[in-house]
Amino acid sequence: MTKKQTAGHDNFGDFAPKFAELNDDVLFGQVWSREDKLSPKERSLITCASLQTQGDPFHN
């Protein structure tokens, strides 16, 4: 069986394996998958709104 890896693991796995593990297991495995708190649609809308309020870092 192949272990699922996220982009975080691909980018940080060699450099910071503990961070990659926490990113995969805690952030995406436990926090993001809690559908009893927020639905995936609500979670995505909040993420998009949060990113939009931060502005464009390339055009200050």
Could you report the per-residue pLDDT of 14-49, keeping only the tens digit for each? 778 888 777 777 777 777 677 788 888 888 898 889
Q: How many CA atoms lie within 13 A of 54 on its CB side?
A: 8
Q: What is the pTM of this model?
A: 0.45
Report DSSP letters for 10-57, one per residue.
Answer: HHHTTT-HHHHHHIIIIIIIIITT-TTTS-HHHHHHHHHHHHHHT--T
Q: Are 24 and 13 in contact (CB under 8 A)?
A: no
Residue ranges of the domains in the chain?
Answer: 7-53
Q: Residue 2 pLDDT > 60, yes or no?
A: no
